[in-house]
A and B are shown apart, each in its own frame.
With several copies, the nearest count.
Chain A
Amino acid sequence: MTEPAILELRCLSFRYPNGRLALRDISCRVASRERVAVVGPSGAGKSTLLMHCNGLLPSPPVQQDGEAQVFVNGIAVTKPHLRETRRQVGFLFQDPDDQLFCPTVRDDVAFGPLNLGLDQHEVLARVERGLASVGMSGFTARNPAELSTGERKRVCLAGVFACEPSVLVLDEPTSNLDPRARRQLLTILRAFAGTLLVATHDLDFVIDLCDRVLVLDDGQVQADGPTERILSDPLIMDRHGLEVPWRLRGR
Chain B
Amino acid sequence: MHIRDGILGPEVCVAAAVVSACAVAYSLRRLRVDLEDRAVPLTGMMAAIVFAAQMVNFPLLGLPVSGHLLGGVLAAVMLGPWAGCLAISLVLIVQAVLFSDGGLLSLGANVFNMGVVGAWGGHAVYAALRRCLGTSVTATVSSAAVAAWLSVLAAAALFCFEFGLSSHSSGFDPSGVFTLMVVYHALIGIGEALITGAVLAFVLSRRADLIPAPTPLPAVRAVGQFGTAGLVAALAVAALLAPFKSELPDGLDAVSQQLGFASLETERPPLLLDDYAIPLPVEAWWSVSLAGMLGTAIVFVGAVLLARAVRWNTTPLTLADNTDV
Contacts and interface: CB of A to CB of B under 8 A. Distances in A.
Touch between chains A and B, by CB atoms below 8 Å? yes
A82 interface: yes
B324 A141 contact: yes
Interface string B207-238: 10100000000000000000000000000000
B317 interface: yes
B248 interface: no
A229 B321 CA distance: 41
A143 B206 contact: yes
Interface stretch (A5-13, A16-24, A119-127, A173-181): A16-24
Interface magnitude class on chain B: 10 to 19
Interface in B163-217: 205-207, 209
Interface in B304-325: 317, 320-321, 324-325
Contact of B317 (A18, A19, A82, A141): A141
A104 B324 CA distance: 13
A141 B36 CA distance: 30
Contacts of B38: 58
Given A140-B320, A141-B317, A141-B321, A17 B206 contact: no
A151 to B, nearest CB: 14
A228 B3 CA distance: 71
Give 4 nearest A-B pairs by CB, closest first: A141-B320, A19-B325, A103-B206, A141-B321
Contact of A17 (B36, B209, B320): B209
Given A79-B36, A104-B317, A141-B317, A20 B206 contact: no
10 contacts: A18-B209, A18-B325, A20-B325, A58-B38, A103-B206, A104-B317, A141-B320, A141-B321, A142-B324, A143-B207
B319 to A, nearest CB: 9
Interface string A96-115: 00000001100000000000
Interface in B27-83: 36, 38
A132 B206 CA distance: 24
Contacts of A140: 320
Contacts of B317: 104, 141
Nearest to A146: B207
Mostly, the B contact residues are helix
Interface of B: 36, 38, 205-207, 209, 317, 320-321, 324-325
Contacts of A142: 324
Contacts of B206: 103, 143
Given A79-B36, A143-B207, 14 more contacts: A18-B209, A19-B325, A20-B325, A58-B38, A82-B36, A103-B205, A103-B206, A104-B317, A140-B320, A141-B317, A141-B320, A141-B321, A142-B324, A143-B206
A17 B210 CA distance: 10
B157 to A, nearest CB: 38
A135 to B, nearest CB: 17
A143 B209 CA distance: 13
Contacts of B325: 18-20
Contacts of B321: 141
B324 to A, nearest CB: 5
Contacts of A103: 205-206
A194 B142 CA distance: 52
A82 B36 CA distance: 9
Contacts of A17: 209
Contacts of B36: 79, 82
A58 B37 CA distance: 9
A17 B20 CA distance: 36
Nearest to A139: B324
A102 B317 CA distance: 13
Interface string A57-73: 01000000000000000
A103 B206 CA distance: 7
A18 B205 CA distance: 14
A91 to B, nearest CB: 15
Nearest to B324: A141
Nearest to B202: A103
A142 B320 CA distance: 9
A117 to B, nearest CB: 16
B199 to A, nearest CB: 14
B258 to A, nearest CB: 52
B19 to A, nearest CB: 35
Nearest to A103: B206
Nearest to B320: A141
Most buried by B among A58, A79, A103, A142: A103
Contacts of A82: 36
Nearest to B210: A17
Nearest to A143: B206
A82 B37 CA distance: 12
Interface in A121-170: 140-143
A140 B317 CA distance: 9
Nearest to A59: B36
Contacts of A18: 209, 325
Contacts of A143: 206-207
A55 to B, nearest CB: 9
A226 B206 CA distance: 44
